[in-house]
């Protein structure tokens, strides 16, 4: 009887301890993007004979107003989904002494793999009411 009682207590102890539910670990997908990233950006706009490459440095932070967004260089936002993100369309404007106001409209995506981000997208350039389409890409390394 004593052996049966010990066996029953042992079985009950194992049963209740094995039914313990694990608390899921909540992670923020944006954390892996946060930091300073350096690399190169390439822009190709064939109709304007632009094929340029320049060094860049970008700071990525988490948006305080949207739990799915990152903020790039304090002005551009992107929606994060796992290891990738999609830029919200953004524009950059410059004034040229010859052509006047030039507007660049960017769209694109980025994917992280370890300490590298590969980005690519489209750029439309508007000069004196005429639109010229092109592409851009960048390769960034976390600092």
Nearest to 51 by CA among 128, 102, 126, 123: 123
Query: Domains in the chain, please, with CATH?
Result: 28-142 (2.40.128)
Q: pTM above 0.95?
A: no
What are 46-102's pLDDT values in tens digits?
999 999 999 999 999 999 999 999 999 999 999 999 999 999 999 999 999 999 999
Q: What is the DSSP string of the chain?
A: -HHHHHHHHHHHHHHHHHTPPPPPPP--GGGGG-EEEEEEEEEEEGGGTEEEEEEEEEEEEE-SS-TTEEEETTTEEEEEETTEEEEPPEEEEEEETTTEEEEEEEEEEEEEETTEEEEEEEEEEEETTEEEEEEEEEEEEE-
């Amino acid at each position: 009887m004593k052996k049966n009682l010990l066996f029953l207590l042992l079985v009950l102890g194992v049963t209740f301890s094995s039914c313990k539910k694990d608390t899921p670990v909540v992670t923020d997908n944006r954390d892996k993007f946060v930091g300073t990233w350096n690399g190169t950006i390439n822009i190709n706009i064939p109709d304007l004979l632009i094929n340029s490459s320049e060094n860049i440095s970008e700071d990525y932070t988490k948006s305080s107003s949207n739990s799915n967004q990152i903020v790039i260089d304090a002005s551009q936002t992107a929606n994060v989904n796992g290891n990738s993100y999609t830029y919200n369309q953004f524009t950059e404007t410059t004034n040229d002494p010859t052509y006047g106001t030039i507007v660049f409209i960017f769209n694109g995506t980025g994917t992280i793999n370890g300490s590298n981000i590969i980005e690519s997208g489209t750029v439309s350039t508007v000069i004196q009411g005429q639109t010229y389409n092109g592409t851009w890409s960048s390769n960034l390394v976390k600092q």
